[in-house]
């Protein structure tokens, strides 16, 4: 049963990759759709491999910075809104507003405020902030109301209620937010690099497209997808572990 659960997806992937190779090799989808083998050859080419390596480091740096900053700000703001209910309405609307701003439109503004080099990190931080603000808020409010009543009756302070119950109950939701935010941070960083960052995967994507280096373009996109998927997968494992550790809140 377990084996079958592994075999079918593996077979499916293999089939897709074969289809890719065949479609590319015979040029069935046009010149911009290269064969898989052609794309993989990019990774064997030393100068291009070096280029990709440098770019990965640059993009990962900005994405990780934006991701970390967005998580810290988002979680902190959500906790603050939770502790000061008076401000919650306003903070909710502010977060929605920040999220509604199109990232592309913000680019030029960020370049003149934080500069070309930091624009990718800033653009990564914005959607991460919003995702973490809302997932943390949902998690904090999702704690059992009865449990809150028991704690208040026992004489727990607001802070104790947060530390003993709500923060723990919010963990699965926080991790689930972090999982979704991985892709947002990567998108933000890559788009941010289009506004003239000195290096990064976004820059490689843009340059290879404009110079018609089709296999390099595809090779870069595969790298981006691989990074995003591994982050997502890692956090899925983390979320699962936390959920089973915390148990279902069926109270």
- What does the binding site for other proteins look like in residue numbers (CB under 8 A)? 144, 146-147, 149-156, 160, 164-165, 168, 245-251
Distance CA 13, CA 220 (A): 20
Q: Of 44 and 248, which CB lies nearer to other proteins in the complex structure? A: 248
* Residue number, 9 or 155, with CB nearest to other proteins: 155
CB of 245 to other proteins, least distance (A): 7
Q: Please, what is the Cα angle at 124 between 119 and 127, to 5 degrees?
A: 130
Kindly tell me which of 150 and 209 has the beta carbon lying closer to other proteins: 150
Are the CB atoms for 176 and 239 separated by under 8 Å?
yes
C-alpha 89, offset from chain centre: 26
CB of 145 to other proteins, least distance (A): 9
Q: How far apart are CA 162 and CA 85, in angstroms?
A: 13
Taking the least distance from each CB to other proteins, the nearer of 95 and 169 is: 169
Q: Tell the smallest beta-carbon distance from residue 241 to other proteins (Å).
A: 13
Select 38 or 144, whichever has its Cβ closest to other proteins.
144
User: Least distance (Å) from other proteins to the CB of residue 160?
Assistant: 6
Question: Which two structure tokens, joined as six digits, stand for 169?
Answer: 């109950």
Nearer to other proteins, 170 or 183 (CB): 170
Crossing angle of the two packed helices 167-193 and 119-141, in degrees rounded to 10: 160
Q: Kindly state the smallest distance separating residue 149's Cβ from other proteins, in Å.
A: 6
Q: How far is the CB of 144 from other proteins (least distance, A)?
A: 6
Burial class (CB in 10 A: 0-12, 13-18, 19+), 221: middle
CB-CB contact of 42 with 216 (8 Å): yes
- With beta carbons less than 8 A apart as the criterion, state whether 202 and 194 touch: yes
In 3D space, the residue among 16, 39, 27, 46 whose CA is nearest the CA of residue 221 turns out to be 39
């Amino acid at each position: 049963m377990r084996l079958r659960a592994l075999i079918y997806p593996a077979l499916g992937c293999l089939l897709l990759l074969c289809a890719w190779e065949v479609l590319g090799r015979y040029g069935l989808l046009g010149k911009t759709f290269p064969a898989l083998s052609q794309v993989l050859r990019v990774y064997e080419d030393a100068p291009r491999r070096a280029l990709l390596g440098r770019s990965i480091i640059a993009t990962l740096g900005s994405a990780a910075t934006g991701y970390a900053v967005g998580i810290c700000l988002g979680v902190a703001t959500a906790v603050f809104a939770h502790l000061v209910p008076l401000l919650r309405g306003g903070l909710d609307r502010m977060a929605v507003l920040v999220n509604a701003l199109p990232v592309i439109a913000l680019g030029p503004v960020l370049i003149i405020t934080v500069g070309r080099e930091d624009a990718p990190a800033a653009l990564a931080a914005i959607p991460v902030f919003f995702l973490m603000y809302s997932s943390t808020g949902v998690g904090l409010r999702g704690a059992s109301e009865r449990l809150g009543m028991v704690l208040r009756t026992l004489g727990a302070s607001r802070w104790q209620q947060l530390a003993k119950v709500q923060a723990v109950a919010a963990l699965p939701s926080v991790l689930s937010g972090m999982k979704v935010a991985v892709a947002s941070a990567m998108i933000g960083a890559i788009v941010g690099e289009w506004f003239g960052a000195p290096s990064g995967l976004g820059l490689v994507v843009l340059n290879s497209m404009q110079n018609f280096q089709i296999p390099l373009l595809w090779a870069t996109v595969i790298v981006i997808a691989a990074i995003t998927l591994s982050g997502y997968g890692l956090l899925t494992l983390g979320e699962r572990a936390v959920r089973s550790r915390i148990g279902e809140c069926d109270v």
